[in-house]
Chain A
């Protein structure tokens, strides 16, 4: 939580509201859903069911139904794993890193961004399992004393991944839940009957005594403090899944910062993609204002520049190594069989976000929404380009080959988006999408309700 210790003065646009308004406005959406909500829920459920069917076909018939084959053994599944882990990152950036920097503007977007983190990790976590084929052997990755007397190979980046992503999910969930406890208490007090009991149990009997707040603020601070190095480590570890291999196009020391910047870039884009319809549907325009979107736009521009720089640095390094196979791999990436995904990536991630240099674009919510969609697409292609083109064009010309995703992989791709939005829809109708306590804190601070 931002605390009244916050020094940065922010004009977020809701300072003149009363404290009770925050409860009323933010809790209003938590009521009986309209037919539109049910229709949307039905749609995403159908998407999940279709993706689930495709997965079932793969389990039943074997991995052969997917397009991955020699030499491209990592295809859409691993692409989606990296994509979804990346989406998760901005949630932690907004909730933890901006908290430590006392950036008050995070207040009204951090809850939804954190929820996005959790649902994105839940989606990402499915893909190593889907990619395994024989999903029932997933426990080989877990460290436990087995009859086989074999432990996981702790020198393998895939085992690091298990630890990094597992820790990331657990800590994100705890961080999110800790922030939610006081708001769930507000929900408990709003309802009677079984909802009162349910939210009462979830709020752990929170009463908001100063002792509770004191320990709460400490725990929240420490969680923000550890989530910050954690988020940087998670995508670094994911990038080492590639960089530890000698494959040309992967074996690079810039991978960790390159992936982290890309993750934050894609995550901010997804926050914008989600917040625009959310604030419209729930009438939260007073709380999530153009000011917030303007700040997100600046972050998007900054990370786009880092990502664009990384693309250029990769090419420079390939040239500078004077390694013919590395050079050939990168030349082929831009001009070979996968040149279309490559140029889509450059266009969506570097060219389109350059429009954000203009204030008019940064303050136009429709324009931002459109740019965020481009970035989502571009970042999917970035991972696809890194993973697939490198494998398709390794050392041996005799072993070169192309990869086409099959209907199963494309269905699971669609299903993963449906799965992600399913959780987000359920969240948006059952829990407050904006942190009420933080909004009130900001209102009280702005109105000078405290004295030192």
Chain B
């Protein structure tokens, strides 16, 4: 993930205020910002312009794969190794539908889970530098990667106006690679 870019990190206590800040920052062109939330908030996703999730494609592909696997496993194996029992048809469709159904469900779920991880870029080792433990408790976080200068002042102003409870500049936190 982000390797601790320079920028401004604001903490908010209320969802509505966070949305305000995010909307205004997005309008100002800060598309690289990161927004942290302690619970799922669709309104915040909307404010940041995150309205699409490819997880549905994963789920669909998983479902189709599962259904085909079930069909191949049942019909294919019985045709490859025909063993008539009780005079019943070798390819017994109503019975096989059950196996196909279960495998459809199984792979839909597994694929949706993998899709969630891939697009959410998880798992990751270690946390990004902007993350603060309060973000899993009761604080919303908005981080804007913006270098020192007049641009940064504008960002801070927006955050203050929106009602941030705490604003910090994260430059000091990086490993002093330049200084070394």
Contact of A189 among B92, B105, B126, B136 (CB under 8 A): B136
The verdict on A178 contacting chain B, using a C-beta distance below 8 Å, is yes
The answer to whether A219 and B50 touch across the interface, beta carbons within 8 angstroms, is: no
The answer to whether B138 and A171 touch across the interface, beta carbons within 8 angstroms, is: no
Question: Could you tell me the distance between the alpha carbons of A155 and B75 in the complex, rounded to whole angstroms?
Answer: 11
Chain B 92-150 interface residues, beta-carbon cutoff 8 Å to A = 92, 95-96, 98-99, 101-103, 105-106, 108-110, 112-113, 115-117, 119-128, 131, 133, 135-138
Q: Count of chain A residues with Cβ under 8 Å from any Cβ of B?
A: 66
The answer to whether B53 and A214 touch across the interface, beta carbons within 8 angstroms, is: yes
With a CB–CB cut-off of 8 A, which chain B residues contact A210? 35-37, 41, 44-45, 48, 50
Shortest Cβ gap from A372 to chain B (Å):
30
The answer to whether B98 and A237 touch across the interface, beta carbons within 8 angstroms, is: yes
With a CB–CB cut-off of 8 A, which chain A residues contact B59? 219, 222, 226
The answer to whether B113 and A219 touch across the interface, beta carbons within 8 angstroms, is: yes
The answer to whether A218 and B116 touch across the interface, beta carbons within 8 angstroms, is: yes
The answer to whether B81 and A219 touch across the interface, beta carbons within 8 angstroms, is: no
Interface of chain B, helix or strand or loop or mixed? helix
Question: Could you tell me the distance between the alpha carbons of A18 and B38 in the complex, rounded to whole angstroms?
Answer: 13
With a CB–CB cut-off of 8 A, which chain A residues contact B55? 215, 218-219, 222
The answer to whether B44 and A174 touch across the interface, beta carbons within 8 angstroms, is: no
Which of B3-11, B14-22, B151-159, B167-175 lies on the face that meets chain A? B14-22
Shortest Cβ gap from B133 to chain A (Å):
4
Shortest Cβ gap from B81 to chain A (Å):
5
Known interface pairs A163-B102, A222-B112. Does A155 touch B137 (Cβ–Cβ under 8 Å)? no
Question: Could you tell me the distance between the alpha carbons of A450 and B17 in the complex, rounded to whole angstroms?
Answer: 9
The answer to whether A440 and B35 touch across the interface, beta carbons within 8 angstroms, is: no
Known interface pairs A23-B138, A143-B73, A174-B110. Does A229 touch B105 (Cβ–Cβ under 8 Å)? yes
With a CB–CB cut-off of 8 A, which chain B residues contact A208? 36-38, 135-136
The answer to whether A441 and B40 touch across the interface, beta carbons within 8 angstroms, is: yes
Shortest Cβ gap from B175 to chain A (Å):
19
The verdict on B28 contacting chain A, using a C-beta distance below 8 Å, is no
The answer to whether B50 and A167 touch across the interface, beta carbons within 8 angstroms, is: no
The verdict on A217 contacting chain B, using a C-beta distance below 8 Å, is yes
With a CB–CB cut-off of 8 A, which chain B residues contact A175? 109
Q: A interface vs B, CB < 8 Å? A: 1, 3-5, 18-20, 23, 143, 149-151, 153-155, 159-160, 163-164, 166-167, 170-171, 174-175, 178, 182, 185-186, 188-190, 200, 204-219, 222-223, 226-227, 229-230, 233, 237, 437-438, 440-441, 444, 449-452
Q: B interface vs A, CB < 8 Å? A: 14-16, 19, 34-45, 48, 50-51, 53, 55-56, 59, 73-74, 77-78, 81, 83, 85, 88, 92, 95-96, 98-99, 101-103, 105-106, 108-110, 112-113, 115-117, 119-128, 131, 133, 135-138
15 pairs, CB–CB < 8 Å, chain A vs chain B: A143-B73, A150-B83, A154-B77, A160-B102, A174-B110, A210-B36, A210-B37, A211-B120, A214-B51, A215-B115, A216-B116, A216-B120, A222-B55, A440-B39, A444-B41
Given contacts A150-B83, A160-B99, 14 further A-B contacts (CB under 8 A): A19-B38, A23-B138, A154-B96, A154-B99, A170-B106, A210-B50, A213-B37, A214-B53, A218-B53, A218-B116, A222-B109, A229-B105, A450-B16, A450-B43
